Amino acid sequence: MISVRNLTKRYAGHTAVDDISFEVDRGEIVGFLGPNGAGKSTTMRILTCYLSATQGAASVGGFDTFKDSIEVRKRIGYMPENVPLYDDMRVKEYLHFRAQLKGLRGRSARRAAGEAMDTCSLQDVRRKMIGTLSKGYRQRVGLADALVNKPELLILDEPTNGLDPNQIRQVRELIKHLGERHTILISTHILSEVEMTATRVIIIDKGRIKASDTPQNLIRRLHSSGTVHMEVKAKPKQVIEKIETLSDIKNAIHIGTSQGWSTIDVHAFSNVDIREQLSSLAQEQNWPLRELYRDTASLEDAFVDITRS
């Protein structure tokens, strides 16, 4: 659906995107991630025909974003980070207007606006002025705008920007539902949302692609399996010395002691669950064990590991 080949975008004295290549297949939900200033928005603007590339090529649905920009725009729905809306229009008339701008007419435009409002749960506010809507509803209007022409590809830049936890959950479920019918490229800083919705993740940093894989595989690539928290009734120095004799252990750190109970954080070298070893050690040493749990690695851990200078 998306093909990017050796794409470069330079501004005066600055290279925003530096010779990147990637593809997105039909039906995928792909998280496009990176630190601020990494080149995410620039790449998205090139794909949506708002910017031209300095070098390289990008195509959507087989159409070049520079040579066939009209055909590309027919196939995409774009929701930018800060959704531009007409505050003095009602939701229903705004979406009808946007459907007409995208080539729909008469009954088809009205039907498309109605279906977009149904999909984004906007029927309750369809007669309200956009300027009176909350941040959450404005984001939904922007998403309905992107959907109104039933595009093959949705490009969403920070779709949950400024939303509360309940609204974020609603948008997450909506994106999952939309993924059944659309190819989706989504950029967000809320990595837990990407981990739950995306089939693949592309990480860009300083204008270059640093990783492209499933969230699960990126997490497996971490050198650590996370931290195991252990709370035992024993002298911390003795506990750490015994723990560091075990295989697969990187280090053990004393966090604190309260009423004789020592809290130890244990880190492993490889992606191995070391809780069974720690439990057996506590039994052998006759240490009363009050707590033993594992912080598993997440996509956020993988992101930090990949983009860390």
Q: What is the per-residue pLDDT for 247?
A: 83
pLDDT of residue 226: 65
Q: Hey, what are 4's tokens? A: 């990017």
* Structural domain containing residue 87: 2-220
Residue type, 93: E
- Per-residue pLDDT tens over the stretch 238-255: 999 999 898 888 889 999
> Tens of pLDDT along 30-46?
999 999 888 998 999 99
**Average pLDDT score over residue span 120-125:** 90
Domain's final residue, options 186, 220, 254: 220
214 against 168, higher pLDDT: 214
DSSP three-state, residue 254: strand
Domain boundary among 220, 238, 254: 220
Share of the chain above pLDDT 70, in %: 97
Is the pLDDT confidence value at 152 over 60?
Answer: yes
- In this structure, the answer to whether residues 200 and 293 fall within a common structural domain is no
**pLDDT tens string 62-100:** 999 999 999 999 999 999 888 889 999 999 999 999 999
Burial class (CB in 10 A: 0-12, 13-18, 19+), 154: buried
Domain count, the chain: 2
- Give CA–CA dist 132/202, Å, rounded: 37
What is the average per-residue pLDDT within 260-282?
86
**pLDDT higher than 70, residue 164:** yes
- 3-class state of residue 65 by DSSP: coil
The predicted pLDDT at position 287 comes to 94
162 and 54, same structural domain?
Answer: yes
Q: Parallel, antiparallel, or unpaired: how do β-strands 55-60 and 63-64 relate?
A: antiparallel
